[in-house]
Structure 1
């Protein structure tokens, strides 16, 4: 019998949608629907906040599943519309460290299901939901599931180089490969760790898991899956940990992977 995954984890940005957008290509949409129709449990596992994830879930019509948001810190039940799991951390120490290290950086902490509190102004369209600028004191004192930082006027390479040997206290960190953007999550929180908890809850075998992603925050998820697939435009370090590499987002690479197991 041909192997088919029973639990499929899909990144959003750069995997099923262009970065920062909400439009899923028709071929990708159809491939996801076929997987669901064949009984696969499809989970969106994303670095996006819940506010940025909900429109994709609703557009795809995903039901009876969990959306894993904020790199695994927030779980959202697609049927009840409720947050069923949330892990938070205190952002103050990391923000204070990064402000000294990266002049001109701006910060935002996620307010789950609502939007963000920001320290400094982000470019238009960077943050999902409502945005309210606050003082350092208020932002630092707000427990959050996700903190993001943009180093204004710099490149992703400059950010990665500056942070190369820097350890931030009690957080998990990932740098974006498209923008000078850093995401901080609670310690130990990754997409892979969250998916392992979900896999056990669902009673799915380790051998029946598939994941597709393109960013550094997808590395743990690709390691977790029995078959981890990197998108064609993913950085070399991400492609190196994957079991296979598919086409780029422009080539509907995610659809090509799913179509191997759930052909039309």
Structure 2
């Protein structure tokens, strides 16, 4: 029996307009009505996940900032992790040397040093709320303690930056490609998968009682956790190989989950 349904947001539950399609809203409500717990797992800020819960009038577990923050559906905080001040400042300075748009993420705030044309384009495309802090370099480790540092740019340049950061700060930082042109740097050991496991342990959910769905490399850690994992049809092949099923939408996955649970209930009744 499936008890927990976990969905990524961008390019999974969110469409190209960063909205939840009506058929996906209906599917999540059907899962809730069937008694399942729902969790949202995203690289986005926590308040953005709260908005989805309010939209669907449901109580959702929330894994935000790629796992840095975990909240239960009753609002209990299970985890809150940030970089140390010195390390965040060092990573930011190294990333800025690659001349890529760099965003500093707190739990519910996002900062840039300046709003360049590139930053404005990213803000518009991703529907982000961004504040300008010209003295960013000085504030890191003093007033700013980020949970995530995000850089945008051409995939090859991001790969070069990733190699540089991982070599410069070995074992001190983890990283994920979370969109086609987006690279996230995280405190070590923080991922959607690790945080999902912590949430599951809190409620006693076994791997076979969990469904996960996502489309990008930051979803791989949670796709690996359960035999009931779904990758979106548009996901890279390297992501799909870690999923059991491939679907074109969240509602398609939800329908399979409801069918699975019905079949499970019928088998119990027959025995």
State the SS of the aligned residue for 2:11.
coil
Q: What is the distance in 2 between the residues matched to 1:69 and 1:20?
A: 20
1:207 matched to which residue of 2? 208
State the partner residue of 1:150.
Answer: 152
Deviation at 1:165, TM superposition (A): 6.5
- Segments of 5+ residues of structure 2 without an aligned counterpart are 263-271
Please state how far the C-alpha of 1:243 moved relative to its aligned partner: 1.2
In structure 1, C-alpha distance between the alignment counterparts of 2:6 and 2:54, rounded to whole Å:
17
CA distance 1:191–1:34, change in 2 (3 Å) = same
Please tell me whether residue 111 in structure 1 is matched to residue 106 in structure 2: yes
Greater Rg, structure 1 or structure 2? Answer: 2
> How big is each residue's C-alpha offset from its partner over 1:187-219, in whole Å with a ceiling of 9 and x where there is no partner?
100000001011111011221111000011001
**Structure 2 counterparts to residues 1-264 of structure 1, below 5 A:** 4-19=1-16, 21=18, 23-63=19-59, 65-80=60-75, 83-90=77-84, 91-100=88-97, 102-103=98-99, 105-113=100-108, 115-121=109-115, 122-123=119-120, 124-125=123-124, 126=126, 128-129=128-129, 131-135=131-135, 136-139=137-140, 141=142, 142-151=144-153, 155-164=154-163, 166-167=165-166, 169=169, 170-179=172-181, 181-247=182-248, 253-262=249-258
- Pairwise CA RMSD of aligned residues? 2.3
What is residue 250 of structure 1 aligned with on the other side? none
Per the normalisation by structure 1, the TM-score is 0.84
Q: Is the 8 A contact 1:13 1:20 kept in 2?
A: no
Q: Is the 8 A contact 1:52 1:129 kept in 2?
A: no
Q: How many residues align?
A: 246
